[in-house]
Structure 1
Amino acid sequence: MAGGNAIRGTRVGAGPMGESERGESAPRQRVSYWCANGHESRPSFALEAERPESWDCPRCGLPGGLDEQAPPKAPRNEPYKTHLAYVKERRSDEDGEAILAEALAKLRAKREL
């Protein structure tokens, strides 16, 4: 249990700070971004700031665009490929057989020594 002299309900930096102590905030504008699922995100930017063309939706993670009628399409994710799948893309079955035969010949030559 906390001691009797503990200050409760406060946090570091809390207090009667106002605009005068923090400085004035820049004028802001809210911009609407729309994702493919129809979610609207409204981040705020400083008036002088350049607003980005896309903004990730905080609800579903898809990219959102400025046009509600034509939001960006969801990115296409390639399925995970194994090492063997990449090897099969680079080599034909005949190449594989030739490499295997060469490796086996080297191993057999070492055994005979």
Structure 2
Amino acid sequence: MAGGNAIRGSRVGAGPMGEDERGEAAPRRQVRYFCAHGHVSSPYFSVDAEVPNSWDCTRCGMPASQDEQNPPPSPRVEPYKTHLAYVKERRTDEDGAAILEEALAALRQRRRL
């Protein structure tokens, strides 16, 4: 006796092939977006949908626009700042020296007690 699996050879979600069984596809249009690296992304949008002015490139992740001659520039990447870098932005070396001297004086005072 053969195995009792009636859907053998199929996969989940498999259905009849062809537009006759599925129905008509919704009307859509393809829009081309160009990034600064020369990549082209061509997503499809519904005819009724509002097409965005910019799109993220599917190859490099850079911003892309519909203008092939003037793609958007690469975004400026700020370098990572450490906590010390932020502190140095807020305080001068003289302020830091004064705060350090005050903290050392308080530490010395506690150790004497």
TM-score (norm: length of structure 1): 0.86
Q: Over aligned residues, Cα RMSD in angstroms?
A: 1.9
Secondary structure, in 3 states, of the residue corresponding to 1:59?
coil
| Aligned residue-pair number | 109
Q: Which runs of 4+ in 1 moved over 6 A?
A: none
Q: TM-score, normalised by structure 2?
A: 0.86
Instruction: Trace 1:3-42 onto structure 2 (pairs within 5 A).
Output: 5=3, 7-8=8-9, 10-16=10-16, 19=19, 24-42=24-42
**Structure 1 partner of 2:64:** 64
The structural deviation recorded for 1:23 is 5.3
Q: 5+ unaligned residues in a row in structure 1: which ranges?
A: none
Q: Aligned residues: percent identity?
A: 66
What are the Cα deviations for residues 36-84 of structure 1, in whole angstroms up to 9, with x where unaligned?
Answer: 0111111000011001111111111111001000000011111111111
Q: CA deviation at 1:19?
A: 5.0
* 1:98 and 2:98 aligned: yes
Structure 2 residue runs of 5 or longer lacking an equivalent are none
Q: CA deviation at 1:26?
A: 2.1
